[in-house]
Amino acid sequence: MKVKLEDKDILEIIKKDKEQALSYYNQHLKPRFKKYYELYNGEKIDTKKYRMPESSFISRDVLVTIRALMPDINKLLFSSNPVEVTARSGEDEEKAAKMQALLNYQITAQNPYHTIFTRLITNALITGCAALKILWIKEYSEKEIDEIVPKEKMQSLINAGFQVKSSPVYINGIEKYRVQYKASYVSKNQPVFEVLPYNEFLFDASALSLQEADYVIHRKLVNYDYLIRRQKDGVYKNISKIKDNVFTYEDDDVLNKPHYISSSDKNKARKLYMLNEYWGRIDIDNDGLLENVVITYCGSQILSIEENTYSMYPFFVFAPFLSMDSIAGRGLAELAENTQIIKTALIREILENTRRNNNRKIFYKVDDLLNPSQMVTSEQYVAVRDSADINNIFAPEPFEVISANTFSLVEYFDKENQKITGVSEMKHGLKQSVETQTATEAVIKYESAASQVQTVVLNFAESLKEAYRFLVYQNQRFIDNVQVVRLLNDVIEINPQDIKDIDFDLNISQSLSSGWEDTRRRALNNALAMMIEIGEPRNLTDNMRIRNLMAKILEESGLKDTENYLIGLEKLREQAENG
């Protein structure tokens, strides 16, 4: 890729883009996201703003709603095989099966699968804008080779630049050479997943989808050690020209944590810098056409300019509810916000009322007491005058009766939250029966809640499909060595040609209907019972077909090595032939 623009012109373009993205983030996204995380974490609420009593109690509706929803999402999206690749034609079935095995291996075995997707979905439910970054890494290592080869091969190794130590050996009277040399090999060739904190992810605010955006920026804090190592690897240049004062957070109080950062000049390797990865479309060679580029810079120093070989942005946004005017969607924290604040205010008032009633003041007539100071001391007895009427000296503070509507309001907002978010007590087994509710009403409410949860899951599934489709294309481009995949009890060897040119469809977690796998297993078990009880006696089936169905049931249960549990097909045929 030819770069004809000068560095100062490139910096002017990308800094202008970042300035616009940062302005949008600071004005529209950061205040929302920061507030939603405060609600999720149950942090202090502004009591003056909402005119509520001072108290440490905070209702945790946002947290409870999100945690209640996570099991459903995990069940529907993240089963043992997260992605299913289906061939569109019979000739591609074997390739599709190998691609499916490779993808599931990369997702579940080569990456911290559960941690990554739990963080991703939690962030999405809180903010409505969680970013997943997928990069492809290829690393080489060296290993010692010690082998006996003919003279011609030894010479070819030397010509290829290997530092070869050799000594002649004779095998059956034939001269050969024992050679020792170091050879590089591909130690890692795989995708890597990263969940970005919301404050590191900036994007073109004018776009409605990420792939249509003119640019996406990943800003992150890295230490000097990281920069130096990348320069030694040939990725960055001009590290020495970076000014120390680029340690800046651009006035972002979310990123700014000065109390936790080491600033010792004697430990420069730990000194932090703000690194910007600019993924965008720029006419960098002045030919009138936009090129896909990745520009990394720190302060006013460009460290690298590369072509974006992915041909798309390796970022994917997840949102439970889509927005009509922005890449950033809407999260559950926004939906449950009012419920949490109102319930906090109401319950605080109930607690304050209870405290006052349990600690009511005592009124008394001073003139009827010999020593009024005894009322504020810990003395057990109080002396009164002989002429005083004991029944008229003391009177408690009137009892404050809380409004009967208070408890009804708390319950009302609980129900409103369930309607808005789709997370109901009944759906999660917390309330088996509801007063004055018929069975039909209960079923309707249950199905309504399930439908809302499925809407959230479907939105996540579309983002997952886009990410997994990206993985398919990158595997087809970058896999150039044999991959050994281990899933359950299977070991599959995949050659690069095995996954090329597949006409396929992608399915997320086999099905998005709750309980689909259980329903399928029940159907298979019912079919087996019918075959044994009815089919075999009436000659409608035989042992071979019964054995095939039992093998299918075992495979559906995750037991792939069915030969350990069932008689082999050949032996079964022999038994049938021998009567």
**390-442 pLDDT, tens digit each:** 777 777 778 777 787 888 888 888 887 777 776 765 444 334 344 444 444 44
Instruction: Say whether 129 sits in a helix, a strand or coil.
Output: coil
Query: Is pLDDT above 90 for 128?
Result: yes
Q: How far is Cα 196 from Cα 55, in angstroms, rounded to an integer?
A: 35
Q: How far is Cα 555 from Cα 46, in angstroms, rounded to an integer?
A: 56
Dihedral over Cα of 171, 173, 174, 179: its sign = positive
Instruction: Say whether 208 sits in a helix, a strand or coil.
Output: coil
Query: Is pLDDT above 80 for 337?
Result: yes
Q: Which of 1-10, 119-128, 169-178, 518-527 has the lowest mean pLDDT?
A: 518-527
Q: How far is Cα 458 from Cα 464, in angstroms, rounded to an integer?
A: 10
Task: Give the confidence band of 171 by pLDDT, cuts at 50, 70, 90.
Answer: confident
Tokens of 192: 């890597």
Work out the average pLDDT over 45-58.
80
Q: Which of 113-117, 245-249, 323-327, 334-338 has the lowest mean pLDDT?
A: 245-249
Q: How far is Cα 73 from Cα 379, in angstroms, rounded to an integer?
A: 62
| Residue predicted with more confidence, 248 or 334 | 334
Instruction: Say whether 380 sits in a helix, a strand or coil.
Output: coil
Per the listing, tokens 């205010």 go with: 345
CA distances from 416 to 42, 423, 433 (A): 20, 10, 18
pLDDT of the residue at 455: 82
- Amino acid letter at 3? V
Confirm if 85 and 506 have CB atoms less than 8 A apart.
yes
DSSP 245: G
Q: How many CB atoms lie within 10 A of CB 560?
A: 14
Q: How far is Cα 83 from Cα 104, in angstroms, rounded to an integer?
A: 7
Q: How far is Cα 23 from Cα 19, in angstroms, rounded to an integer?
A: 6
Confirm if 188 and 137 have CB atoms less than 8 A apart.
yes
Q: How many CB atoms lie within 10 A of CB 153?
A: 14
Task: Give the confidence band of 265 by pLDDT, cuts at 50, 70, 90.
Answer: low
Q: How far is Cα 451 from Cα 71, in angstroms, rounded to an integer?
A: 15
Q: How many CB atoms lie within 10 A of CB 332?
A: 27
Q: How far is Cα 360 from Cα 120, in angstroms, rounded to an integer?
A: 50
Q: How far is Cα 141 from Cα 187, in angstroms, rounded to an integer?
A: 6
Per the listing, tokens 């430990």 go with: 267
Q: How many CB atoms lie within 10 A of CB 143?
A: 9
Q: How far is Cα 130 from Cα 503, in angstroms, rounded to an integer?
A: 30
DSSP 166: E
Q: How far is Cα 309 from Cα 479, in angstroms, rounded to an integer?
A: 14
What are the backbone angles phi and psi of residue 282, rounded to the nearest 5°?
A: -135, 140
**β 272-282/291-298 pair status:** antiparallel
The end-to-end CA distance of the chain, in Å, is 74
pLDDT of the residue at 395: 77
Q: How many CB atoms lie within 10 A of CB 538?
A: 8
Q: Which of 166-170, 338-342, 359-363 has the lowest mean pLDDT?
A: 359-363
Answer left, alpha or beta for residue 519, where phi above 0 means left and psi between -120 and 50 means alpha: alpha
Work out the average pLDDT over 478-500.
76
User: Whole-number mean pLDDT of the chain?
Assistant: 81
52-96 per-position pLDDT tens digit: 888 888 888 899 889 888 887 887 787 667 888 877 777 778 888
